[in-house]
Amino acid sequence: MKQPQRKARVERVTKETRISVEINLDGAGTYDVATGIGFLDHMLEQLSRHSLIDLTCKAEGDLHIDFHHTTEDTGIAIGQAVSQALGERRGIRRYGSAVIPMDETCSRVALDVGDRPYLVWRVAFPPPKLGDMDTELFKEWFQAFAQHAGITLHVENFYGQNGHHIVESCYKGLARALRQAIELDPRAALTVPSTKGVLGGTLEA
pLDDT in tens, the chain (205 residues): 566 789 999 999 999 999 999 999 999 999 999 999 999 999 999 999 999 999 999 999 999 999 999 999 999 999 999 999 999 899 999 999 999 999 999 999 999 999 999 999 999 998 899 988 999 999 999 999 999 999 999 999 999 999 999 999 999 999 999 999 999 998 887 776 654 656 565 434 4
The predicted structure's pLDDT at residue 203 = 39
Terminal Cα-to-Cα distance of the chain (whole angstroms): 23
Pairwise CA distance, residues 196 & 143, whole Å: 26
Domain residue spans of the chain: 7-182
* pLDDT (0 to 100) of residue 195: 46
Q: What is the pLDDT of residue 4?
A: 72
pLDDT score at 51 = 98
What was the pLDDT predicted at 127?
Answer: 85
Q: Looking at residue 30, what is its pLDDT?
A: 98
Q: Are strands 152-159 and 105-112 parallel, antiparallel or unpaired?
A: antiparallel
* pLDDT the model gives residue 193: 61
CATH class of 7-182: alpha beta
| DSSP sequence for 106-166 | EEEEEEE-SS--EEEEE---SSSEETTEETTHHHHHHHHHHHHHT-EEEEEEEE-S-HHHH
